[in-house]
Amino acid sequence: MFLGMDVGTGGTRAVLVDEKGQLVASASSEHEPFRTPHPGWAEQDPEDWWRAAREAIREVLAAVPGARVDAVGLTGQMHGAVMLDKDGKVLRPSLIWCDQRTQPQCDWLHDQFGGGQIGREKLIELTANPALPNFTLTKLLWVKEHEPEIFARIAHILCPKDYVRYRLAGTYAMDVQEASGTLLLDVAHRRWSKEVAKVAGIPESWLPELYESPEICAKISEETAGLTGLKAGTPVAAGAGDQGAGAVGMGILEPGSVSATIGTSGVVFAATAAPTRDPLGRLHTFCHAVPGRWHVMGVTQAAGLSLRWLRETLAPDQSYDQLTAGAAKIPAGSDGVLWAPYLLGERTPHLDPTATAAFVGITATTTRAHFTRAVLEGVAYSLKDTFTLFSELGIPVKGVRLGGGGARGPLWREIQANIYGYPCERLTAEEGGAFGAALMAGVGAGGWRDLEAACAAGITVAETIQPEPVTFRRYAEGYVGYRRVYAALKGIKG
């Protein structure tokens, strides 16, 4: 068996996968909700991740008595800044991926490389990405400015799933896919950027050792064995951030393969043979979890979150199935109602942490079902922005595999196929990042020769949804209107 763990925002999930690539058991433990001490802030306690990881591991092992775990792989929410002292103790709560407080630090960093567009382009040349509030480095710079007494005590920097590995194995390590989201990695050469670290005032001694995702980088410690039920000495693979591991779990390995995954956020992910930079920084360019490959991705900050917000705010008495059943009765285009899903600002393509959400086109005949369908369509329109950039940059798209909550309901699947304009595949079992982490562990332990072989064993397609020409044309017209909404909202902000 191979154990995969996903240290997410809402909880930690553990899965067991056998040598045939089949899911055998899963378990999860919820995290405490992230804290927002001020608007736009988001913090979590790393010790709570470790508590949830122990619980999920013990539960999944109990589900398969006598299971022999041959390797462990990890994934999790990206970009979080975990700061440890020289003894490995957590210095403060982690600033996680959706924290938006660090725009001043982004501006400062661009200024250090020449300011304005020149500074952005120089940073993209060095790290393949501009400075954004989501990235780990800008969070460290905020601590440097506002909590210098904490910054002075830092000895190690990790991301969330790497902190859990530290507690599992006592090793300070990170994979190159995860490291791509810190803004401290030379993505093209898959190594830490000495120049960026120097300019930012980050000692290289703070940075963990780098590995490719399937590489074995640690072993379960004696202490952890007693706490979790894992055997001491069990190999631990480097793993990947949630997007890289999720892509492996969906078989998005070769150039031309693309996924569109809707969780709290939404991500369109394309594998590439070489680092493809967007000169304007609207797409992220990261190392892939597949050694020797890269990927580009666009991110919608509030994708599944938009639907959750709608339900909690306007329909707390309705289930998601009831909401989407009503939406299915509304024609494509929602009778002109549009949703701009900027509840948490926006990354792709606007790079605007201050963007705000809105419904547009409301009339006296608008119903809750219209709002629901408009949310489903607005999230897909937002993800289509990434496909538009792929076309602009010459990134091939052979088809799209759907993942997350957006793949589970037939209505959202159909909306996505018709808005993206590509055949969309639904997998027989889309098990997410934890499954991908288990496959990486299996490759590291020699269970499969490479990730291609692992995915061939464990992934099958259940359904292909073809775009319907008339509906595609209707959505193409709707997309033109959607593209005007952001500029209009920006023009009226107080």
| DSSP reduced 3-state for 399 | strand
Active-site hit among 242, 321, 352, 450: 242
Q: Work out the number of other CB atoms within 10 angstroms of the CB of residue 155.
A: 16
Q: Which two tokens stand for residue 334?
A: 């929602």
How far is residue 406 CA from its own chain's centroid?
15
Q: Rounded to whole angstroms, how far apart are CA atoms 414 and 478?
A: 16
| CA neighbor of 211 nearest in space, from 276, 287, 270, 157 | 287
| CA neighbor of 46 nearest in space, from 79, 73, 81 | 81
Confirm if 63 and 27 have CB atoms less than 8 A apart: yes
Q: For residue 394, give every residue at least 6 positions away whose Cβ sits within 8 Å of its Cβ, in sequence order, or none.
A: none
Q: Work out the number of other CB atoms within 10 angstroms of the CB of residue 227.
A: 15
Cα distances from 6 to residues 29, 65, 233, 428, in angstroms, run 11, 22, 21, 20
Rounded to the nearest 5°, which phi and psi values hold at 106? -60, -45
| DSSP reduced 3-state for 196 | helix
Confirm if 208 and 157 have CB atoms less than 8 A apart: yes
Look at the alpha carbons of 201, 169, 25, 322 in this order and tell me if their dihedral is positive or negative.
negative
Q: Rounded to whole angstroms, how far apart are CA atoms 182 and 307?
A: 29
Cα distances from 124 to residues 128, 188, 191, 387, in angstroms, run 4, 11, 15, 21
> Tokens 């967007």 label which residue?
278
> Tokens 């949703």 label which residue?
339
Q: DSSP letters of 321-333? A: HHHHHHHTTSPTT
| CA neighbor of 458 nearest in space, from 23, 60, 75 | 23
Confirm if 48 and 106 have CB atoms less than 8 A apart: no
Confirm if 379 and 307 have CB atoms less than 8 A apart: yes
How many CA atoms lie within 13 Å of 321's alpha carbon, on the beta-carbon side? 1
Confirm if 112 and 199 have CB atoms less than 8 A apart: yes
| DSSP reduced 3-state for 319 | coil
Determine what percent of the chain falls in helix, strand and coil, rounding each to the nearest 5: 40, 20, 35
Q: What's the maximum distance between 2 C-alpha atoms anywhere in the chain? A: 66
Among this protein's residues, is 242 annotated catalytic? yes
Catalytic sites, residue numbers: 242
